[in-house]
Structure 1
Amino acid sequence: MKADNKKKEKRSWPRIVGAIALVLIIGTGAYAYSVYQSVSNAVDTMHQPIEREKSEKREKEVTLTKKEPFSVLMLGVDEREGDSGRSDTMIVLTVNPNNNSVKMLSIPRDTRTEIVGKGIEDKINHAYAFGGVEMSLNTVENFLDIPIDYYMQINMEGFKDIVDAVGGVTVNNDLDFTYEGVHFTKGDVTLNGEKALKYSRMRYDDPRGDFGRQLRQRQIIQAVIKEGASLSSLTNYNEIFGALSKNIKTNLTFNQMVDIQKNYKTVGDHIKQLTVKGSGTKINSIYYLIVTTEERGRLQSELKTQLEI
């Protein structure tokens, strides 16, 4: 049982990476603009366009210069030699500059839904294995009935690199615990990438359960943003974007990232996490999370309001 629990804990952390990646792009964009050429080269490495030009659920493409709300699908991917990889984490971020907020929805990997383009019902994270980013986008769009404008695919090891790139982080820990051989004392603790990853994973020894883990995740996010925003050295700045370029693929261009920085710069301070509610069941001996039509409708309504559609 404990081994299974640890596996579940490890799957949760890419939501942190997703938030860090987007907020770093938003929050450090002003500095990026001042060193346009060197940073744009790093972003060119990250840029991986997809075949479709825009979502079928939009009449026209989002115009970031007009401060229109937009959405991003974060895929935390574990790619192994010999297979196409799995998106063990799927997070949808809906960004609205008019209400100055980001709503973050983490979709459980076992959620049973139609895999668009495959013609079957299966676990939602299997969409990536069947058809990569594009099938994942189409499947999530169908599940939530909203347009997905952009994507970010995140390498599972990227979290450690990004924390190390900002020189580590300091957080105030309110729970004395040991996880995977590392002891975390109460009070201020300074963490490198490896320790930050472990600090954010622990769940089952926390009396607050997932709430406690989410608290630690937010601490890491805020600490990385603080460190990244305080950088005054080009060397450190290049290390951050080097870590991002090695571990992230996205269809966002550098110019779009600059537009996000200019027009959406404060939204990263207001992130609200949403939860998918469902019931677990087995079908043909395979575990699935079943989400009711009513629950999907609730989520769809909240996200559509956020996107003003």
Structure 2
Amino acid sequence: MVESRMTRNKKKKRPVLKTLIITFAILLLAAGSAFAYVATQIQNVTSESQVELERGDQSEQREDAVKPDVHPVSVLFLGLDTRDGDLDGRTDAMVLATFNPDEPSIKMVNIPRDTLVPIPGRQAEDKINHAHAYGGVDLTVDTVEDLFQIPVDYYVSLNFDAFMEIIDALNGVTIDSPMAFEETDNQTYGTIQIEEGEQTLDGEEALAYVRMRKSDPQGDIGRGERQKEVMASIVDEMASFNSITNFNSLLNAIGNNLYTNVAFNDMVDMHAYASELDNIESFGYDGEGVMQDGVYYYQPDEFSLEKTRQRLQVHLGLRASIDPEFEEALEGGDDGNEVEPSGEPNLEWNENDGNEDAGGMENDEWNNSENTEEESWQQDGAENDTQSGQQNGTEDNEEWETTDNNSW
């Protein structure tokens, strides 16, 4: 049985992941700098994080090899809800970025983790974030290529620890909290206390600050403002970052929690995009929330999805222009995932049937340490996710499923 309800989508930017992307891009700049020591350190870190795809260094959708400073390329950024250096869990955030050196320009598309898609080698459609559980980054890249019908040239996988350790390496970030509230650390609620007013937060405090929603009377709007504030603070800290000792800590924070197939030479080639970091064009695709057998999915609107495909294909130089019907939609202001949320209630967590919601419980990822044995799908496949939605009611091992599509 399928239950469907149209939802007017919020603009989904994954601000925490975007912070990591910007930080990573700043490091690309450093790699191309004149400081041989810094470049050598980056080369050492990136070589340790280098994990090639099984296909090799070229997408099957490419006839010839590409270079970031010469050809338009794409990078798939994956935010994994794992910690302690583990990069094998499910993807909780997915952003596809395309880079065009001729303009130069950067475009970003958020991919809601619950998007219902065909996954290569699977009989039935499933959530796109399950591709990582089924076949790691290789299957995830294949799935995204099929969804948008473009080559994915590079990938970057980061986890929660990267966000926290980057901030710790910067000796914290300064924020001005509009309210006092308590949040959870990875064990106990109330452990983290944020005071009202200006203060410096360490990594774990900053993660709690950007993820809190329920204590904010402005809800997601307030959370979005806090995420922008922390992102700006990180960029400010990076701009004045001069200590080689701390720079090594920053590199280690990235290196210990990152896998990528971006080679050091490619990083050097990408430094030309640094001037465009403040002018990234973000868009998405519309869709509707559907319930199938007690499990929530995000069903893409085919018109909106095709429009997004063509925009990416044009930016990558794979087609000359988008079709007139999609051009008209863009001129009318339809950019995908740009609409304000409606007044309809969210698909709330139901203690009687275990259905997850689209709005989400922001603290669910902290429960991973409690859920490891229950969520065996991380090793054996994602089928247990669907089963837990049908069988386990309010068991703790379902809580991760309630994260929304707006932040991680």
TM-score under structure 2 normalisation?
A: 0.66
**Per-residue deviation, 1:172:** 4.5
Per the alignment, do residues 172 and 153 of structure 1 end up closer, same or farther by CA in structure 2, a change over 3 Å counting?
same
* Alignment equivalent of 1:269, drawn from 278, 286, 295: 278
* Alignment equivalent of 2:254, drawn from 228, 244, 268: 244
> After the TM superposition, which of the residue ranges 39-48 and 248-257 deviates more from structure 2?
39-48
> Residue 42 of structure 2 corresponds to which residue in structure 1?
39
> Residue 300 of structure 1 corresponds to which residue in structure 2?
309
* Alignment equivalent of 1:257, drawn from 244, 257, 267: 267
2:78 matches 1:75: yes
1:57–1:147 CA contact under 8 A, matched in 2: yes
In structure 2, how many angstroms separate the alpha carbons of the residues matched to 1:73 and 1:117?
21
Mind listing any 5+ residue stretches in structure 2 that lack a counterpart? Answer: 1-13, 184-189, 319-408
**Per-residue deviation, 1:79:** 4.5
> Residue 3 of structure 1 corresponds to which residue in structure 2?
none
In structure 2, how many angstroms separate the alpha carbons of the residues matched to 1:209 and 1:130?
34
Name the SS for the 2:164 alignment partner. helix
Structure-to-structure mapping, 1:98-109, within 5 angstroms = 98-109=102-113
Query: For 1:266-285, what per-residue CA distance to the aligned partner results, in whole angstroms no more than 9, with x for missing partners?
Result: 12222233233221111122
> After the TM superposition, which of the residue ranges 204-213 and 118-127 deviates more from structure 2?
204-213
TM-score under structure 1 normalisation?
A: 0.85
2:106 matches 1:95: no
Per the alignment, do residues 94 and 46 of structure 1 end up closer, same or farther by CA in structure 2, a change over 3 Å counting?
same
Percentage of identical aligned residues: 36
In structure 2, how many angstroms separate the alpha carbons of the residues matched to 1:260 and 1:119?
39
1:164–1:193 CA contact under 8 A, matched in 2: yes
**Per-residue deviation, 1:14:** 4.9
* Alignment equivalent of 1:60, drawn from 47, 59, 64: 64
Name the SS for the 2:125 alignment partner. strand
In structure 1, how many angstroms separate the alpha carbons of the residues matched to 2:83 and 2:208?
21
**Per-residue deviation, 1:257:** 0.9
2:202 matches 1:199: no
2:161 matches 1:157: yes
In structure 2, how many angstroms separate the alpha carbons of the residues matched to 1:70 and 1:32?
25
Decide which structure has greater helix share: 1
In structure 2, how many angstroms separate the alpha carbons of the residues matched to 1:291 and 1:97?
30
In structure 1, how many angstroms separate the alpha carbons of the residues matched to 2:154 and 2:67?
12
In structure 2, how many angstroms separate the alpha carbons of the residues matched to 1:96 and 1:47?
24
Per the alignment, do residues 185 and 302 of structure 1 end up closer, same or farther by CA in structure 2, a change over 3 Å counting?
farther
In structure 2, how many angstroms separate the alpha carbons of the residues matched to 1:41 and 1:63?
21
Decide which structure has greater strand share: 1
Per the alignment, do residues 296 and 109 of structure 1 end up closer, same or farther by CA in structure 2, a change over 3 Å counting?
same
1:44–1:253 CA contact under 8 A, matched in 2: yes
**Per-residue deviation, 1:197:** 0.7
> Residue 7 of structure 1 corresponds to which residue in structure 2?
none
Query: For 1:18-50, what per-residue CA distance to the aligned partner results, in whole angstroms no more than 9, with x for missing partners?
Result: 424432323433458531323211111111111
In structure 2, how many angstroms separate the alpha carbons of the residues matched to 1:206 and 1:257?
39
> After the TM superposition, which of the residue ranges 32-41 and 230-239 deviates more from structure 2?
32-41
**Per-residue deviation, 1:17:** 4.9
**Per-residue deviation, 1:65:** 3.1
Aligned length: 294
**Per-residue deviation, 1:178:** 1.8
Name the SS for the 2:51 alignment partner. coil
> Residue 6 of structure 1 corresponds to which residue in structure 2?
none
> Residue 185 of structure 1 corresponds to which residue in structure 2?
196
In structure 2, how many angstroms separate the alpha carbons of the residues matched to 1:184 and 1:308?
50
In structure 2, how many angstroms separate the alpha carbons of the residues matched to 1:113 and 1:32?
45
Per the alignment, do residues 201 and 276 of structure 1 end up closer, same or farther by CA in structure 2, a change over 3 Å counting?
farther
Per the alignment, do residues 32 and 43 of structure 1 end up closer, same or farther by CA in structure 2, a change over 3 Å counting?
farther
In structure 1, how many angstroms separate the alpha carbons of the residues matched to 2:230 and 2:80?
20
Name the SS for the 2:64 alignment partner. coil
Larger Rg: 2
2:287–2:298 CA contact under 8 A, matched in 1: yes
Give the superposed CA RMSD: 2.6
* Alignment equivalent of 1:15, drawn from 14, 17, 31: 17
**Per-residue deviation, 1:208:** 4.7
> Residue 147 of structure 1 corresponds to which residue in structure 2?
151
Per the alignment, do residues 203 and 76 of structure 1 end up closer, same or farther by CA in structure 2, a change over 3 Å counting?
same
